[in-house]
Amino acid sequence: MLGWSINLFRIRGIQVALHASFLLLLGWMAYAGFRDGGVSGMVWSAATTVAFFTCVVLHELGHSFTGMHFGVHVRRILLMPIGGMAQFDAIPRQPRQELLMTIAGPAVNFAIAGILWFMVDYPDQGDLLGAPASLADLGRYLLAANLVMGIFNLLPIFPMDGGRILRALLATRLPYLRATAVAATIGKVLAIIAAVIALYAGNYLLMILFTFIFVTGDAEYRAIRHQEAAQAHWEEMMRHLSRAPRAEPPFLDQPPLLPPKAPEGELGP
């Protein structure tokens, strides 16, 4: 499923890609804007969607650039209707590095909101109910959206940013696998509660998001558990090999291939 993507561009070697399903979201938002405001509404609705997901890309780049500083290779950033996902070869197991790498994403959102705070008026509830129809409206919408995005990602639901922060803090006191298990368990419980609330409220996209978070969090914990088991297996094998007595080379018990050399002054047979 994640392979159905369209490559857009690269930033510092990081491929930014668009999942094919994102086009359905963009088309739906454009249709909703056209239905409510004609061609102008369609353009503003599509532009708002693109601007919002530009902030999502910046959020993921915050994670990615910090990870690259610690030597982590970033394969790509994938945009989906439910958000963005940076795909790393590995997550640092040093709690401090993971903590800084994780905080960097929401920090970008709060920085964007801080910049917009000085450029536009703070949005009230009325501004957020209708679709943006001017640059000022778009700025107010993005100010609120970045605040919500930053706070939302800090929820302690693994593998969201808040869940990774929780895992990093637990890893300062617990083994890495145990810290992951605790963070993943808390995250799954909260994800189920949030999905039920979203379903009850009729927000099906949010329900799908929390279901996806539940599945990916469980999958990441299983992958780490498998890695730990494989590493323990190889370490035990190496210890066993280092304790085993060395066998004599097999060729020492074989007869020589040539007869012994005759002493000087004697003839051979």
What residues are labeled active site? 60
Question: How many other β-carbons are positioned within 10 Å of the β-carbon of residue 186?
Answer: 18
